[in-house]
Structure 1
Amino acid sequence: MTQLREHHSFLRVPDDLSNADKKRNSAAMRNILGPWVRDVKAPPPSPFSIRSQPDGHLVHFGKRDFAWVSVPACSGKHSNWQDNLANFRTYATTLHSIAANLSAAHPKGWVIDLRGNGGGNMWPMLAGIGFVLGEGVAGSFVSSDGTVQSEWSYKHGEVLLGTKSMNDFVVDSPLTLPRPPAVAILIDSGTISSGEAIAVSFAGRPHTRFFGTHTFGLSSANEMLPLPDGASLFLNSAVDADRTHHRYDDGIEPDVTFPEPSSLPVFESTDPVLQAAISWLASLK
C-alpha cells in the first residue's frame, strides 16, 4: 500500500491464527503502514450500512407500483475463499428470489438501493439482480495504462468475466424480463468497492438514473492472491469502467444529488432520495 500509493489493497490473515498472533500481526501492520494509514480516507458512517441481507418490497405511488430492492454488501468471512462459497450462493439466490417475486406484480419501474453497500464479492450481487440489469456486457476492468483487462457480463442467471463463467454464482431458474425496465439507482458515500461495481454495471444503460450522493471512490478491482500460510492478499489491479468504456477512477456521481443523511429515514415518505427516484420513474411513459 505504501509503495503503490493506493488504499484498496489489503491483507487478510489466516482464519486459524491465534488471538495472540492476530494481535502481533495487527501491531506489525500498524508499524509498517504508519502515517500512511492515518492519511487514508476512511469510509463515512453511512446509516444504510446496517443492512446485511437483501430485501425488497413494492412501493405504491398513486395507482402504480414500483419495485424497491436493497442490495447490501456481500462480504466473505473467511480467508480461504472456498469457505465463503455457500454464503455467496445463498446471497445470490436470496436476492434473485426477492426480485423475482416483485417482478410477478409487474412493477412500472425498479429502484435498486445500493446505499451503504460496502462491497465484498460483486459476482453474487450481479447474479442476483442481473435479470433487472439485462443481458450483455455491463462493464470492464481497465489497467493503469488504459488497457481493458477483461469485461464482465450477465447472461440468463450467469455472470461472466471475459469468457470465463463464474459458475459458483449461477442462479437456478433465472427470470428473464420481456423488455429492459426503467431503473433508478440509489447511491451514497457508503457505496464502496464492489457496491460501486454494481452501480457501474447500470451506468450507460438506457432508462437508468442515479440518485443520492457521490460514492466513496474505491471503484476498482482487487485480485486475490492466496498465500502459503492460509492468508490472502487482495491487490488492487484495475479501475472499473462501464459499458461505454467510461472509467470511474474516483467513484460515481449521481444524476440527482442530495445531502448525505445522518440517520435512516423513519418512513419511506421521509426519504427524499427514494421519493425523487419514484417520482422520476412515475414520470416516464
Structure 2
Amino acid sequence: MQVVTEIAELKKAVAAHRVQGHSVGLVPTMGYLHAGHASLLAQARKESDAVVLSVFVNPTQFGPNEDLDRYPRNKEGDLQLAEANGVDIVFLPEASEMYPRPSATRISVGGITDKLCGASRPGHFDGVALVVSKLFHLVGPDRAYFGMKDAQQVAVISRMVEDLNLPVEIVPCPIVRAEDGLALSSRNVYLSADERAQALVLSETLRRAPEWLAEAGGDAEGLKARIRARIGEMPLADIDYVEVLTYPGLAPAFGAEAAESAWIVALAVRFGKTRLIDNRLLTRQEIAEALASPLQAAKGE
C-alpha cells in the first residue's frame, strides 16, 4: 500500500497502474474510518484493479460555526483499516496541498442543494462538489464510491458528473448500521450514552415509514407529521429537518413527478452538540401500496 501526501506523488502512483491497464476505483472520505467506509472499500476492491482512498477533512464544506476543528481524526487507525481492506493508494494531503491559495472557482449544483442539508448548511455542497471534482481530475477514476447515508451528497455528485460529462461512474453503496440500528458515522463518537440511546429513534421512525405512509393514506405531509411527533418525544432531540421528497430529484413528494419516482425520507436531528443525518428510500411499489391503502380510498369517496 502506497501512502502519498502530495498531488504529484498521487498522479505518479495512479499512472503506474494505468500503464498496466488497471481500472481504478476511488473512495473519497474525510477519515476517522469505520465499518461503513470499509464497505465502500470492499465494493471498490471487487470492481477495480486498483483502489485509491482519499482521506481529507475538506475545509471548504464547513461553515464558519461548524465543527471543522472538532472533526475526529485518526490517521493510524485509518491506515490500518485501509491496509486491511486491500487499498493500493492512500492520498493524505494537507489543506495547503489541495488549496495552495483560496480557490476562486466554485461548483454549484442548482436545485438539489438548496434543501435538506443544503438549506441548513449554506455553501456546504459547493465545497463538496469542488473537492470531489478536484479528486476526480487528479485520480481519473473509472468508478467512485459513496455511501447512501448522505443521499443528498450522492444526488449532488451524480448530477455534477452528468452535467459536466465527467467520465466516472458513481456507485452508491447501502447505509451500514450498528447492531442497534444507528447509522454509522464518524460523529457518533461525540454522543453521550443517553444521546446515543435516544438517537435510535431515527432508525425506528425510518423503519416504520412505509407503515405510517399507508396510515396517512399516502400523504407525505402526514408521514412527516408522524415522524416529527415521534422524534419530538425524545427530550434530547432537536430536529433540524424531517422531509419527504422525490429521489434523486429532491422535488416535493406529490403530483405527477412524484408518482413516477422513488421517495426519500430524510432526517437531520441534533442530540446535544452532535448533528446526525439518516434516511430511507421508499420504492415506487411501497408508495403505490400506501396510495392504495383503505385511508386513501376513504379520502377519495
Coarse TM-score class (shorter-chain normalised): under 0.3
What TM-score do you get using the length of structure 1 for normalisation?
Answer: 0.27
- Name the structure where helix makes up a greater proportion of residues: 2
